A and B are shown apart, each in its own frame.
Chain A
Amino acid sequence: MIDKNSTTLLSIKNLHASINTTEILNGINLTVKSGEIHAIMGLNGSGKSTLAKVLAGHSAYEVTAGTIEFEGKDLLALPPEERARAGLFLGFQYPIEIPGVANTQFLRLAYNTIQAQRGKDELDPLEFDDFVREKMKLLDMKPDFLDRSVNEGFSGGEKKRNEILQMALLEPKLSILDETDSGLDIDALKIVANGVNQIAHKDNAIILVTHYQRLLDHIVPDFVHVMQAGRIVMTGDKKLAMELETRGYDWINADQRLATGVNA
Chain B
Amino acid sequence: MSNSVTNSNDYLQYLLKSWSAKSASELTGLNQLRASAIDSVGTQKLPNKHDEEWRFTDISPLTRLTYPPSQQQSRLQFSDIDKFCLQNTTNRLVFVDNHYSPDLSNVADSQIQILGNLHSLMSSHASTIESHLGHYAKFDHDIFTALNTAFLHDSALIIVPAKTCITEPIHLLFIASQQEVSSYPRSLVVSGPDSKVTLIEDYVSINQSSYITNTVTEIRLAAHAQVEHIRVQRDSKQAHHLANCAVSLADSSQYQSICVSLGARISRYNLEVQLTGENSNCTIDGLTLISGQQLSDTHTSIDHVKPNCTSRQQHKCIVDGTAHAVFNGKIKVRPQAQQTNSSQSSRNLLLSNTAKVDTKPQLEIFADDVKCAHGATVGQLDSEEIFYLESRGLSKTTARNLLTYAFAADVINRIPVASLKQQLEQIVLNQTQGI
Question: Do chains A and B directly touch (beta carbons under 8 Å) in the complex?
Answer: no
Chain B residues close to A by CB (< 8 Å): none
Chain A residues close to B by CB (< 8 Å): none
